Amino acid sequence: MQITRRTGLKLMVAGAAASAFPAISAEAKSPTAQSKSTRLILLGTGGGPTPLPGRNQPANVLLVNDEPYIVDAGNGVARQLMFAGIAAHRVGRIFITHHHDDHNADMGTLMGLAWSNGRASPSEAYGPPGTEAMVEAFVEYFEPNAAVRLAFSGGKKPPRELFRGHDISASGPVYEDDSVRVTCVENTHYPNQGHKDGVHHVSYSYRFETADRVVVFSGDTAASEELTELAKDADVLVHEVINEERTAALFREKFASQGRSPEEIERVLKAVIAIHTPLEDVGRIAEAAKVKTLVLNHFVPGFDPEETPEGWTAGVSRHFSGRVIVGEDLMEV
């Protein structure tokens, strides 16, 4: 199902007047029926830090027993949540796959908007090392706004008492509550497994297990055996994808317009292609993992005027016999 912006606005209005989150799928006809299902909405499906006209920055929301769990928080995530009919103040759990700004730029902003719109419960962010420091830095950045609101609005706990960051140090269990269990594995998004100058930079893939669904998010990664194992028998695998041929053509044109040398263009292009997953490899991973539905996401390049759904699915379907969905912003799967 595709949630239009007009539909999202109507849902927000309805949600403000109703005690239960309004249904936005044909199957969820009542709050009771909806609370028993796990729903996935793609908030942003673009790839890379460049703002795009047709796709928002990477972000997803998993609604489990009507509780939203955010996976990645690229620029504009709060607005996309609004279009999906989910008020920002409801968000209390954010999971970041890795520290590229198209995935984490609005992590703090989402926490701040939740607080400014009345959230009085903790807001927790989980991600690779550096997540805790980012939250602490955002609290400092947010302090002037918080001081004014506390002075003249009252009735709120300060963000220092509510905003919390959690560094995930290794593959394994991440989070668990009555509705969901989250585990992760380190994937292969970074060259040399993230090791550079004595520092280990980490990129994670996440597996969410609920009472009725298993949903796996690849995050950004090259083809990864660890991810394949994590995704075994999942109901849904949300996987990034790169079209190498179109990326090469469009990135050469883009970088040349920026005045980069031919040598630099080829070096950067080679690096970009190496850290993402080609079409056919995505199909191989999904088939090996025996997932039921594969959702393509984080499209590279994301600014292709010749893009078609068939252009994304053809290579994937050569190796994967299951259901393939070309993700779009605000699509519910």
Give the three-class secondary structure for 220.
Answer: coil
Beta-strand ranges (E) seen in 193-248 are 195-196, 199-200, 204-209, 214-217, 236-242
What pLDDT score was predicted for residue 36? 53
Tokens of 137: 């830095």
Pick the more confident residue, 29 or 140.
140
Backbone phi, then psi, for 55, in 5-degree steps? -140, 135
Beta-strand ranges (E) seen in 123-178 are 123-127, 163-167, 172-176
Query: Burial, 317: exposed, middle or buried (Cβ in 10 Å; 0-12, 13-18, 19+)?
Result: middle
Find the mean pLDDT for residues 253-274. Answer: 96
Residue 1: band (very low, low, confident or very high) from pLDDT cuts 50, 70, 90: confident
Nearest alpha-carbon partner for 126 in 186, 166, 173: 166
Q: Does pLDDT of 49 surpass 60?
A: yes
Residue 154: band (very low, low, confident or very high) from pLDDT cuts 50, 70, 90: confident
Nearest alpha-carbon partner for 163 in 182, 145, 140, 191: 140
Each residue of 74-133: pLDDT tens digit?
999 999 999 999 999 999 999 999 999 999 999 999 999 999 999 999 999 999 999 999
Q: Does pLDDT of 22 surpass 80?
A: no
| Length of the chain, in residues | 333
Q: Which residue has the tokens 């109901």?
A: 235
What pLDDT score was predicted for residue 4? 60
Each residue of 217-263: pLDDT tens digit?
999 999 999 999 999 999 999 999 999 999 999 999 999 999 999 99
Contact 103, 74 (CB under 8 A): yes
